[in-house]
Amino acid sequence: MDEAVLRAVVPQVIAILVRRGADFAAAEDAVQDALVEALRSWPDDPPRDPKSWLVTVAWRRFLDVVRSDAARQRRELAVEGEPQPGLAETADDTLRVFFHCAHPALTPTSAVALTLRAVAGLTTRQVAEAYLVPEATMAQRISRAKRTVSTESFDRPGDLATVRRVLYLVFNEGYTGDVDLAAEAIRLTRQLAALAQDPETDGLLALMLLHHARRPARTRADGSLVPLAEQDRTLWDSSLIEEGVALLQAALAQERRGELQLQAAVAALHADARTAEETDWVQIVQWYDELLALTGSPVVRLNRAVAVGEADGARTGLAALAEVDPGLPRHRAASAYLLEKAGDLPAAARTYAEAADLATSQAERTHLTKQAARLNAALR
Amino acid sequence: MPKYLLLKHYRGAPAGVNDVPMDQWTPEEVDDHIQYMDDFANRLRETGEFVDGQALAPEGMWVRHDGPGRPPAVDGPFAETKDLIAGWMVIDVDSKDRAIELAGELSAAPGHGGKPIHEWLEVRPFLQHHSETIE
């Protein structure tokens, strides 16, 4: 059985149940039950049409629950009998499932959890494992999220930007357990891009593809980080790069530029360089200028300072960095890099060590500690 | 999303406001304190923020490698009770602010006289495992 095929239809099946009169929370529960049943029985007995199978089983499950509730409460059924044939969901219905799960009333953490279950079709256990929390905690997080959105209208059009933010968070989580969240985020963003027909969503997909293309080169077998300039570029996935660049060009051509398209443009310039030396830093700085004008983001200002250091020399980069909030997570690391490039090795070694203390991931901390160690050894 | 360790130990922080040793409390005060901790953990289970919580026995020992072919060297326990780690809780929350808010609540556990202990808790972020972050 191809689990990906199964999971791809989950949001459509939820949309169908909602269209037939189920409320979102009950529909989502019923589909999750059907999904678990499918994972159990399909390997031996695969259905001809996975989607109708899921609709049938989920609908029956929904009716069972409604009937037992009704029996308990001694009241009449609100929903009647067998599914009406020929009632299909539309692209808009599926899109509403995306909007609902990323609803602005949810915190980012709960939006991510609900999206992974109801849109990505992961089981609660898989989501819990991916985020390294107990399954019971994740189950509570998801049911609270469903309660929060239960009072929100399912039919009101939502905001694509909130969905993109949720998918971006999922992508950044990478992979810790069996579930590759970066690959999941790409799969969902592909679905969203097909439904939304919107350049900024295409920009997000391009950004993800261009980053994902470099993943095989980004870490060594032992998990340690390889900086962009030292990556073996033959390991980059050229088909993902091609797809990302084509998507981005088509998006930019629509002249509705957004932050994600501009970030993807920077990633595309890196992908375009056959060696680190060939990188077109001057053009990268120009994209960062545009990004900064658009967002005013301090993180962009920081990345721009590093790019300026490459384009116009380390001293100019350090001058640009002096304008950036020193409290930013990677400020020290950027500063250490530019100091070494400027030839001030003792200061660079010191700053790398400080940066290691401020790192937010294990791999980053190890990498920065080794940079400090390398310079200290050279200075002895 | 970010995970934080709420660590209850006695190393470096000033004494809590209501700093009376537990054996000077009434038995009911001890029960109330434990009940507060349990309720707190249960509330976090319901909000989907609980990861783990453990209390540690006060006695312990120091162990280190003592050379190839030799059993590990064991020493202590040392009488440094001020280094004691009493226990911890691990939470998975939306933000640093939320972690601080929860640590504040935990620190309000009742103690002597039924009044909050106001003890200092150390709050430490976990280093993340992933390295996917878009540069």
CATH number of the domain encompassing residue B16:
3.30.70.1060
Q: What pLDDT, on a 0 to 100 scale, did the predictor assign at position B57?
A: 83
> ipTM for the complex?
0.81
Q: What pLDDT, on a 0 to 100 scale, did the predictor assign at position B79?
A: 65
Query: Distances in Å between the alpha carbon of A175 and those of A126, A131, A170?
Result: 12, 9, 10
Half-sphere exposure of A56 (CA within 13 A, CB side): 9
The partner residues of B75 in beta bridges, in order of sequence, read: B62
Please state the φ and ψ torsions of residue B36, each to the nearest 5 degrees.
-60, -45
Assign A221 a pLDDT band (cuts: 50, 70, 90).
confident
Lowest-pLDDT choice from A179-188, A220-229, A232-241, B35-44: A220-229
* Chain B residues closer than 8 Å to A133 by CB: 48, 50-51, 92
3-state secondary structure of B54: strand
3-state secondary structure of B29: helix
Mean pLDDT of B105-119: 91
What domain range is B81 assigned to? Answer: 3-56+74-125
B63 in a structural domain: no
**8 Å CB contact of B1 and A108:** yes
B115 in a structural domain: yes
Q: Count contacts between A and B (CB, < 8 Å).
A: 90
Assign B132 a pLDDT band (cuts: 50, 70, 90).
very low
Interface list for A 276-295 with B (CB within 8 A) = none
Give the integer Cα–Cα distance in Å for A143 and A149.
Answer: 10
B133 in a structural domain: no
Query: Distances in Å between the alpha carbon of A380 and those of A90, A250, A268, A376?
Result: 68, 53, 40, 6
B129 touches chain A (CB under 8 A): yes
* Chain A residues closer than 8 Å to B47 by CB: 140-141, 144
| pLDDT over threshold 90, residue A283 | yes
Select the residue of B92, B94, B129 nearest A362 (Cβ to Cβ). Answer: B129
**8 Å CB contact of B134 and A171:** yes
B31 in a structural domain: yes
The full set of domains in chain A, from first to last, is 1-89 (1.10.1740), 90-195 (no CATH), 198-277 (no CATH), 280-380 (1.25.40.10)
Structure tokens at A31: 């589909």
Lowest-pLDDT choice from A89-98, A172-181, A285-294, A329-338: A172-181
Lowest-pLDDT choice from A132-146, A284-298, B48-62: B48-62
B118 touches chain A (CB under 8 A): no
**8 Å CB contact of A175 and B132:** yes
Chain A residue with Cα closest to B133: A172
Counted residue by residue, chain B has a size of: 135
The closest alpha carbon to A24, from A144, A126, A170, A154, belongs to A154
**8 Å CB contact of A172 and B47:** no
A172 touches chain B (CB under 8 A): yes
Q: What pLDDT, on a 0 to 100 scale, did the predictor assign at position B134?
A: 47
B103 in a structural domain: yes
pLDDT (tens digit per residue) in A74-102: 544 444 444 554 556 677 888 999 999 99
| pLDDT over threshold 70, residue A359 | yes
Give the integer Cα–Cα distance in Å for A109 and A177.
Answer: 18
B94 touches chain A (CB under 8 A): yes
A183 touches chain B (CB under 8 A): no
Instruction: Tally the domains of chain B.
Output: 1
Mean pLDDT of A109-128: 95
B131 in a structural domain: no
**8 Å CB contact of B47 and A144:** yes
pLDDT (tens digit per residue) in B71-96: 999 987 776 655 678 889 999 999 99
B26 in a structural domain: yes
